Amino acid sequence: MLIFVLGGTRSGKTKYALNYGENLFHFSNFFYIATAEPVDEEMKARIKEHQASRSDKWQLIEEPIKLWEVLDKIPDSSVAIIDCLTVWLGNLMNYQMDVKKCCELFLNSLKKFVSSTEHCMICVANEVGLGVVPETKMGRDFRDIAGKLNQDVAELSDEVYFLVAGCPLKLKAI
């Protein structure tokens, strides 16, 4: 099963994803895959805030780049949350990775992961297409790549939720 949680910054995406995952009682393993890196004081504070919001049920995996490798290591009967795909894309661009290739590797691994009835993946991402057009080419490229990845993940998903002010709006259900 694949659940996709989209929304703006501070819309309640992570809280919703954690609550959703914790209510899946038939799973015995819970993994939180964090993509953020503590690159400055602000990001360190955000990471601490996210850590404080999680119960001890969640095992932390930190992976800023190779999400496809992490998914291959998650055991059966697991719920995993990736938080967040938008930060992950920023990491790929910052480290000048082949973004298209990395997205292909991730999407193929995600398909394999969710094809098992023993797994549930919850992907969290920012909806980047509702704001102003970015001023720079890099900003527009980022928005376009994030929008395409969001579409690809949504297409694979069994359920898609859009969060506004902490309130989920179901966009897709099987």
Catalytic hit among 13, 50, 54, 119: 50
Count CB-CB contacts under 10 A for residue 25: 6
Which residue has tokens 């992976």?
63
| Residue 132 DSSP symbol | P
Q: How far is Cα 151 from Cα 157, in angstroms, rounded to an integer?
A: 10
Which residue has tokens 């992961």?
113
Q: How far is Cα 13 from Cα 7, in angstroms, rounded to an integer?
A: 6
* 50 assigned to active site: yes
Just list the catalytic residues. Answer: 50
